[in-house]
Amino acid sequence: MAAPDRLFVALDVESLADAEELLRRLDGVVTGCKIGTQLFTAAGPAAVEMARKRGVRVFLDLKFHDIPNTVAGATREAARLGVFMLNVHSSGGVRMMRAAAEAATKAAQDLAVPRPLVLGVTVLTSLDRRALQAEVGVPASVDAHVLHLADRAREAGLDGCVASPREIGALRLALGPDWVIVTPGIRMSSAGGGSDTPGASPADDQMRVASPRQARDAGADYFVVGRPITAAADPAAAAREILSQLA
């Protein structure tokens, strides 16, 4: 896969106008974006439509987590919007994930659109072992629970999962070459954010980071990058530098 097809810029902004301005500045460099709960809550499906009109593929990061029938309906609507990939919480269970996978397939057939990839979210990176045990009630290590949930996601027919750079290697080993792995937490170097990213500290609030090349070498398929690009003085130049490491 060509490097530009593997990069999704996180549009973590508060309005449709801000999102469009960002994509305008990245025109000709970036061909994928991630629309999450902030922008989608602010602007709705218009954000997806705006990106698609500009020829930019969309990862709809709304992390569906509900009863199977509701998640199937939401997945169908995401497919109707023409998103390239979307995600659901793996802790919603196998039946819920299977409903999403089947809805994606059926919607693609019914609506004559490409079938979106459906990914599982395993353990939020904001949870550590203590929180996982004491608050969520899961008596496993984070790593073991990530592998357990990814395995359930595959059983349910999902295409892949979202994983922190630290988890990529073990997931690739356990789930094989066809499992799609999408990773956030990309930073240009652990030593600093780069002279052209004054708005972004080295890691911001990311606990586990990797350079684009490290994440590629660990076996990730797609890379989600936010602030290293969006907070850079020259977002297109920052994106080009990241793409050069992915090539």
- Which residues participate in catalysis according to the annotation? 63
3-class secondary structure, 194:
coil
Measured from the CB atom, is 71 or 188 closer to ligand C5P? 188
Residue 241 burial (10 A CB sphere; 0-12, 13-18, 19+): middle
**Neighbouring residues of 151: CB distance < 8 A, sequence distance ≥ 6:** 174, 175
d(CA 54, CA 41): 21
For residue 20, the minimal CB distance to ligand C5P (Å) is 18
d(CA 141, CA 237): 39
Measured from the CB atom, is 107 or 181 closer to ligand C5P? 181
For residue 122, the minimal CB distance to ligand C5P (Å) is 9
For residue 106, the minimal CB distance to ligand C5P (Å) is 27
* Nearest position to ligand C5P, beta carbon: 226
Measured from the CB atom, is 69 or 244 closer to ligand C5P? 244
Measured from the CB atom, is 96 or 162 closer to ligand C5P? 162
* Interface with ligand C5P (CB under 6 A): 10, 12, 34, 36, 125, 162, 164, 184-185, 204, 206, 224-228
What dihedral angle (degrees, nearest 10) is formed by the CA atoms of 137, 141, 142, 145? -70
Which residue, among 84, 78, 122, has the nearest Cα to 100 in the 3D structure? 78
Measured from the CB atom, is 73 or 169 closer to ligand C5P? 169
Contact present, 36 and 46 (Cβ < 8 Å): no
For residue 112, the minimal CB distance to ligand C5P (Å) is 31
Q: Counting runs of H as helices and runs of E as strands, what totals does the chain give?
A: 11, 8
For residue 156, the minimal CB distance to ligand C5P (Å) is 20
Report CA-CA distances (Å) from 66 to 31, 92, 109, 154, 212.
31, 7, 24, 19, 33
